[in-house]
Structure 1
Amino acid sequence: MGDRFGSLAGKRVLYTGAAGGLGLPTTLKLLDAGAQVVVLDNDPSKVAQLRTAAHEREGLDVVVCDLSDLNGLRKSLDTLTAQGDGFDIVINNAAIYPSKPFEEFTLDEMQLVHRINVEAAIVCVMAALPAMRAKGWGRIVNVSSITVAGAWDNLVPYVQSKMALVGLARGWAREFGVYGITANALAPGAFPTDAEAIHPDREAYEKRIIDSQAIKRRGRPDDIANALMFLCSDASAFITGQTLNVDGGWIMK
């Protein structure tokens, strides 16, 4: 991967929700490309899986962190920043995805989704920005979702949060470009992860996915990892404020 997009040696990555699902393969590719990866995650079993998968690789630092505690998050990030030379790359990937009809959500529940999925991402960028500006180089990638296209019900807070990340990427791209920092969103399609447990009829759901995609297979974690590696590399230096859909062509339907 380092040969394809260039080495990330010396780059320090802040990656939320990176221990499981679609995050783990990207974490391994980043480590293989020479990056130091600081993972923020709070799932003990997934953290254990990541540590096992990366046991022979150098550069991994896992921090168990509650992203809903924004003040605690900022304190942790300030400590991490002081321990290194800031962060060169931020990947905002962590998310929660409660599913039920809109009228059944309380305002507190909706605010919790926004706090974890969006406000934690804002805090991460606030912490990383000074070092990126000083270095004249930075990469920010917000992981959005195909759900922002509007084809799902019972996910209003999640869809809202994922569209907010697209808006943030565009706003950051405009303001930070002068410092050599790019900001983009990546929108995965329907990948086989734990999130699919919210769908009661998995067989019908699987058929819907394949019928909707131009590419007639399920997405693989490496499909996301390769796209993230591209957006984090010098190969994407002239790409900013964009949303890269990695969905097998579903968005065209």
Structure 2
Amino acid sequence: MSLGLFDLKGRRALVTGSSQGIGLALAQGLAAAGAELVLNGRDVEKLTKAAAQFDGIARILPFDATDHEAARHAIDDFEAKTGAIDILVNNAGMQFRTPLEDFPADAFERLLRTNISSVFNVGQAVARHMIKRGAGKIINIASVQTALARPSIAPYTATKGAVGNLTKGMATDWAKYGLQCNAIAPGYFDTPLNAALVADADFSAWLEKRTPAGRWGRVEELVGACIFLASDASSFVNGHVLYVDGGITASL
């Protein structure tokens, strides 16, 4: 087997929510494998700062992934004026923690829009072009909460369960057109989204005991899974949720 299977030269990847955290780390990994980048988010200043790290191989495409029409318009315009998006990483997401009995309805709706609607909106818009070309890679960022729940994040758990099943639905509908649609489910990683938990000594101690690997994950440890799912190496992998979690879902 040739390592050329993992080569992404000549391909263009759109990563949503890519100005920081997991999205930025995955963008860096895709670039190292040869891909040209399109960074997405709502904050133009943060996107511009992130793109400056990539020595001219990254464009920015600001739009609100929770807005169906905005996502479709931005992607259609990009495809018409710039060229094909070969790889999509649906990474945009948010967290909100509070006991379920006190969970605000508006926070629940924001979670639905940010964590689920964005995957549908951007996935559909990009897939319509991929289908015409007969090829494409869609990678949705799920979570260890796709399979497991914890106190105070029930709605987040529901959204990530939905991401896992939407990934299966994408594969079921679009594999016949030459698309591979899969998900990466990170365990507990040291990211801005988890800053409060990382700072909580009691939680970190619990996590280290609960996780067979005995530690928090590092965002760069998600890169290999992303390159695999973005490359020819995964040409017959479809509808799969790949857990990168230090073994937490494997152990009681």
Aligned pair 1:167/2:146, yes or no? Answer: no
Give the deviation of 1:187 after TM superposition. 0.5
Distance 1:176 1:106 in 2: 36
Q: State yes or no: 1:243 paired with 2:241.
A: yes
Q: How far does the alpha carbon of each residue in 1:166-199 deviate from its partner, in whole angstroms, 9 at most, with x for none?
A: 0111011112111121111110000011122343
TM alignment of 1:21-170, pairs within 5 A: 21-43=21-43, 46-47=46-47, 49-54=49-54, 56=55, 58-170=56-168
Q: 1:182 aligns with which of 158, 177, 180?
A: 180
Counterpart-to-counterpart distance in 1, 2:179 and 2:97:
35
Counterpart of 1:173, as a letter, is: A
1:213–1:249 CA contact under 8 A, matched in 2: yes
Alpha-carbon separation, structure 1, partners of 2:16 and 2:140: 10
Distance 1:94 1:14 in 2: 12
Q: Bigger CA drift: 3-12 or 134-143? A: 3-12
- Residues 248 and 3 (structure 1), Cα distance of their counterparts in 2 relative to 1, 3 Å cut: same
1:199 aligns with one of 193, 197, 200: 197
Q: TM-score, normalised by structure 2?
A: 0.90
Deviations 1:4-36 (A, max 9, x none): 643212222121111211122221222233322
Query: Aligned pair in 2 of structure 1 residues 46, 150: CA closer, same or farther (>3 Å)?
Result: same
In structure 2, distance between residues paired with 1:42 and 1:110? 20
Q: Give the secondary structure class of the aligned counterpart of 1:73.
A: helix
Partner of 2:222: 224
After TM superposition, the structure 1 stretch with the greater mean CA deviation from structure 2, 225-234 or 134-143, is 134-143
The residue that corresponds to 1:15 in the other structure is 15
Q: Which moved more, 1:172-181 or 1:24-33?
A: 24-33
Cα deviation for residue 64 of structure 1 reads: 2.7
Identity %, equivalent residues: 30
**Against the structure 1 CA distance between its residues 218 and 105, is the aligned structure 2 distance closer, same or farther, given a 3 Å change threshold?**
closer
Deviations 1:186-231 (A, max 9, x none): 1000001112234396111111222122223321111111111111
Asked if 2 retains the 8 angstrom alpha-carbon contact of 1:213 and 1:250, the reply is yes
Distance 1:46 1:211 in 2: 36
Can you give the 5+ residue segments of structure 2 that lack an aligned partner in the other structure?
Answer: none
Q: 1-side partners of 2:213 and 2:198: how far apart?
A: 24
CA RMSD, Structure 1 to Structure 2 (Å): 2.2
Worse-matched range after superposition: 202-211 or 60-69: 60-69
Quick one: distance in 2 between partners of 1:148 and 1:130?
A: 26
Aligned residue pairs: how many?
250
Report the more deviating stretch, 66-75 or 204-213. Answer: 66-75
Aligned mates of 1:98, 1:239 — CA distance in 2: 32
- Return closer, same or farther for 1:193/1:176 CA change in 2, 3 Å cut-off: same
Distance 1:70 1:177, change over 3 A: closer
